[in-house]
Amino acid sequence: MEVINALGRRKSAIARVYVSAGNGKITINGRPLEVYFPSELLQFVVKQPLSVTENEGKYDVKVNLNGGGIKGQAEALRLGIARALCKIDAETFRPKLKSNGFLTRDSREVERKKPGRPGARKRFQFSKR
């Protein structure tokens, strides 16, 4: 099997994912998953597409991650892995991934700050007198 690549995005995080046949090793920016995401919850989020499609331990995943915070990066990586699995075997994996919502890009972005205001929507305190 050749290397399959896919892209995952969430907020300002971008994950470029390269999946190849292997023994389940996930490497992010040259570091293992457990070192890059020490939180058990974020490790679970990253591994969700593999566990839903029963592919844990079958594929090696190499990732280039940049931008955003750790939560956004983990969710971008989840989308990237799900898209890569769809490229490998669409008719088997796609229904499971789609029903769990792993193929949907979360399009919510931070709203820009407006001029003359302290934030995007917030106003300065109103004083009648």
Per-residue model confidence as pLDDT tens digits over 80-93:
999 999 999 889 99
pLDDT for position 1: 75
Global confidence as pTM: 0.90
Measure the CA–CA gap between 14 and 9, rounded to whole angstroms. 5
Measure the CA–CA gap between 47 and 27, rounded to whole angstroms. 12
**Range 4-99 classified under CATH 3.40.50.720:** no
Hey, what are 21's tokens? 């046949």
